[in-house]
Amino acid sequence: MRYLAIGDIHGYADVLKRLLEAIPLRPDDQVITLGDYVDRGPDSRGVIEFLLKLRECGQLVALRGNHDFMMLEARGRSDMLKEWIFCGGNWTLASYGDLFADGKFDLIPDEHWKFLEEFCVDWYEIDTHFFVHANVDPDLPLEEQPLYLLHWEPLFETRPHCSGKVMVCGHTKQRSGLPRNLGHAVCLDTWVYGDGWLTCLDVKTGQLWQASRRGELSTGWLAEPEEGEEEFA
């Protein structure tokens, strides 16, 4: 079985489809998406629809990112609605219809709300790795992690987790377009909505596949651990 982790998608459904077509998937593959399905890209609706189909095949584990969390919060809070729109929620609403409509949230299918609220999880682990959207407290077990860290905390210099497992995360964009490898942590947010790529990593072998919104495809291998610059997503 391959464990294929995919970084922040941010509304680029066409790039996600192209990426998975380039791999391609095997029946026993498990795809682990690291969150931030919505905002900043043109087709958040298409991303969720595609992931729902992948989930029906039993191959998807979907994590919840801070942008997904903001979308859920914005549904019932006017203050959060303004913050969400400022952070790219206008792109998401536009993918469902009229973002200025009074009942704009009614345009979003119930199954899409259910995906974000119920189907997505805040963390996931296998025997050698664990997966979160943003970061963790290295001294706390996964089940005790504060949600704020899991959704929002940037990847600054961090110590290995007490479990001894490698953390695979997104959230902290890598303007280089390449994953950041700290040895005990790997960040896969490679800035698809900017000038970067959407990245998929086979966490057991280190093989990489990448697709850009410019239509490019690339393959390679995870670099040896090295220091790099980090930036809040």
Which of the residues are catalytic?
A: 67
Q: What angle do CA 138, 143, 145 make, to 5 degrees?
A: 45
> Strand pairing of 129-132 and 166-169?
parallel
Q: Which long-range contacts (CB under 8 A, 24 or more apart) does 206-211 make?
A: 208/179, 209/19, 209/22, 209/23, 210/19, 210/177, 211/15, 211/16, 211/18, 211/19, 211/22
Residue 13 C-alpha from the chain's centroid: 13
Structure tokens at 59: 């191959």
Q: How many CB atoms lie within 10 A of CB 226?
A: 9
> How far apart are alpha carbons 133 and 171 in whole angstroms?
6
Based on the number of CB atoms within 10 Å of its own CB, is 143 exposed (0-12), middle (13-18) or buried (19 or more)?
Answer: exposed
The first and second tokens of residue 19, run together, are 């990426």
Whole-Å CA distances, 201 to 2, 169, 176, 226 = 10, 11, 16, 17
